[in-house]
Amino acid sequence: MTVYTRMMDVVPKHANAGRRALLLVLLVLAGTVGSAVGATDARAVNYSYCTSIIGAYGNCTGSAVYLRGNQAFDDYGSNRVCAGAVYYGSFYGGYACGYGYAGICYGGGLLLNPRVHNGEPFAQSMHGRAYHSENCP
């Protein structure tokens, strides 16, 4: 009866080469999957909020982020809209207003809530887009 004291005595040398190749393939696959997941996270730089009907002169506020830019859109394309932000419940930095679209930029250093404002005396379909991980559009 033969007693083996080391794993190297049992496993042929060519089997180790196969294991190394398999390990290399697994590392390459893990890197590819990691890159794909990282790319997905990197694209998460903005979000839509308040996709709804907003009443006359009303507003809607999104979730707080380190806001770099905010855009407001009138879904009809030609009515008055405003984009702004709220800092702990108070308006921050004023509003940018336009017809169909408005955009405003911030430094990204404060936790702000993006806000869209209906600048018309009637309800309208609107939405906002907040940018928090890329430069202001």
pLDDT over 60 (residue 7): no
- Specify whether 59 is located in the same domain as 112: yes
Quote the pTM value.
0.66
pLDDT digits (tens, 9 = 90+) for 74-111: 998 899 999 999 999 898 988 899 999 999 999 888 99
Q: Which domain holds residue 34?
A: 7-43
**Strand 80-87, strand 96-99: pairing:** antiparallel
Return d(Cα 109, Cα 132) in angstroms, integer. 10
Unique residue bearing structure tokens 């250093």: 109
Q: Assess contact for 119 and 81: CB atoms under 8 A.
A: yes
Q: Are 114 and 62 in contact (CB under 8 A)?
A: yes
For residue 13, the surrounding DSSP H or E stretch is: helix 13-43
Q: Do 51 and 97 have their domain in common?
A: yes
Q: Are residues 23 and 57 in the same domain?
A: no
Instruction: Label each residue of 53-89 as H, E or C.
Output: EECCCCEEECCCEECCEEEEEECCCCCEEEEEEEECC
Residues 81 and 96 in one domain: yes
* Cβ 125 vs Cβ 58: under 8 Å: no
Indicate whether 105 and 64 sit together in one domain: yes
Same domain, 35 and 77: no
Asked if the model's pLDDT at residue 17 lies above 70, the reply is no
Q: Average pLDDT for residues 65-74, to the nearest whole number?
A: 94
Task: Specify whether the CB–CB gap between 74 and 127 falls below 8 A.
Answer: no
Instruction: Give yes or no: residues 111 and 58 share one domain.
Output: yes
- Residues 57, 120 share a domain: yes
- Same domain? For 116 and 73 the reply is yes
Do residues 36 and 92 share a domain? no
Q: pLDDT band for 113, please (50, 70, 90 cuts).
A: very high
My answer on whether 67 and 122 are in the same domain is yes
Is residue 117 assigned to a domain? yes
Q: What is the pLDDT, as a whole number, of residue 136?
A: 78
Tally of domains within the chain: 2
Tally of CB atoms within 10 A around 84: 25
82 and 26 in a common domain: no
